[in-house]
């Protein structure tokens, strides 16, 4: 499902992004690695800690950024993700606008032909890759716990946050951490029990979907599922929509695996 994202982004001119990023974008480009000090230690031990199983929170209080208007949820979410990934926080409106512009430039045309007011999840993922905060890719699944396990495992492996496409595809949240029954690096037999959420629309929320969580609030899975719902289905044949209708969609970091060859044979 992620293949079309890379092809769609590659089809757009890299020179557009280079021009947009020049000058006003006050975020230094650094490799997509996370300083060790930003990774919260695992919560293990006896008593209440043992019941929690495992806790990872990559975010800090200074990482949160509110969107400056009602259409820049993607730009604000990218800004928060970069704040988590990079050693210094940037909460300026100018940077948020530049990130939104990058995501819009990398977003495909709307299937109905109308002008896009915001940015798509495709531009969100591709923008993070272009900013060397990745690699990132789009992943979707019909089961909530399955997609949360994928998110948790990727955060544990890369030390980078995850983007959540909420409100059936209409809004963006950042998953800055999670609680689980076990460490995703040590076993595949675990359940995600809580989600550390940063909603750039806080404190406004939605009359339809409910209130915004407080910055870095830990939601239970039942609380999360009220707003993190499958992307609305579409009958469009546009390639960028293919495969994601009716699925929970995330912008997921991943770590490229190194393949070793011995005598021309994969090992």
Q: Which ranges of 1-110 does DSSP label H, i.e. alpha helix?
A: 3-10, 14-21, 48-52, 73-85, 93-105
Say if residue 241's pLDDT is above 60.
Answer: no
Say if residue 265's pLDDT is above 80.
Answer: no
CA distance 185 to 73: 31
pLDDT at 243: 74
Dig out the tokens for 39 from the structure.
Answer: 């990774």
pLDDT in tens, 56-108: 999 999 999 999 999 999 999 999 999 999 999 999 999 999 999 999 999 98
Give me the residues paired with residue 210 across strands: 206
pLDDT at 110: 73
pTM check: above 0.85: no
Quickly state the pLDDT bin for 257 (edges 50, 70, 90): low
On the question of a cis peptide bond just before residue 203, with omega within 30 degrees of 0, the verdict is yes
Say if residue 256's pLDDT is above 60.
Answer: yes
Share of the chain above pLDDT 90, in %: 66
pLDDT at 92: 98
Q: How many CB atoms lie within 10 A of CB 97?
A: 17
Say if residue 21's pLDDT is above 60.
Answer: no
Q: Report DSSP state, residue 138.
A: E
Q: Closest Cα to residue 124, out of 57, 91, 76?
A: 76
Tokens 């591709």 correspond to: 126
Q: What domains can you pick out in the chain, each with its CATH number?
A: 3-31+39-255 (3.90.70)
**Burial class of residue 261 in the structure, from the number of CB atoms within 10 Å of its CB (0-12 exposed, 13-18 middle, 19+ buried):** exposed
CA distance 2 to 125: 10
Q: Closest Cα to residue 136, out of 84, 101, 87?
A: 84
Say if residue 260's pLDDT is above 70.
Answer: no
**Is the model more confident about 240 or about 12?**
240
- Give the mean pLDDT of 206-226: 97
């Amino acid at each position: 499902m992620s293949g079309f994202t890379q092809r769609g982004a590659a089809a757009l001119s890299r020179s557009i992004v280079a021009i947009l990023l020049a000058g006003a974008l006050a975020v230094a480009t650094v490799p997509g690695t996370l300083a060790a000090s930003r990774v919260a230690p695992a919560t293990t031990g006896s008593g209440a800690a043992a019941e929690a199983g495992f806790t990872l929170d990559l975010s800090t209080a200074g990482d949160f950024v509110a969107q400056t208007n009602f259409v820049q949820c993607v730009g604000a979410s990218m800004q928060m993700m970069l704040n988590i990934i990079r050693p210094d926080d940037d909460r300026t409106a100018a940077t948020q606008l530049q990130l939104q512009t990058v995501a819009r430039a990398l977003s495909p045309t709307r299937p109905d032909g109308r002008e896009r007011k915001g940015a798509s999840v495709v531009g969100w993922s591709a923008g993070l890759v272009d900013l060397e905060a990745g690699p990132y890719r789009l992943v979707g699944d019909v089961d909530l716990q399955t997609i949360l396990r994928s998110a948790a495992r990727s955060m544990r492996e890369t030390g980078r946050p995850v983007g959540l496409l909420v409100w059936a595809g209409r809004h963006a949240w950042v998953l800055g951490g999670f609680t689980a029954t076990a460490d995703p690096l040590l076993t595949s037999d675990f359940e995600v029990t809580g989600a550390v959420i940063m909603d750039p629309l806080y404190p406004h929320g939605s009359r339809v979907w409910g209130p915004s969580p407080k910055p870095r609030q830990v939601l239970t899975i039942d609380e999360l599922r009220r707003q993190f719902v499958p992307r609305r289905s579409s009958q469009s044949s546009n390639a960028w929509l293919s495969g994601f209708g009716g699925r929970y969609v995330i912008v997921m970091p991943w770590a490229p695996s190194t393949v070793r060859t011995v005598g021309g044979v994969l090992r």
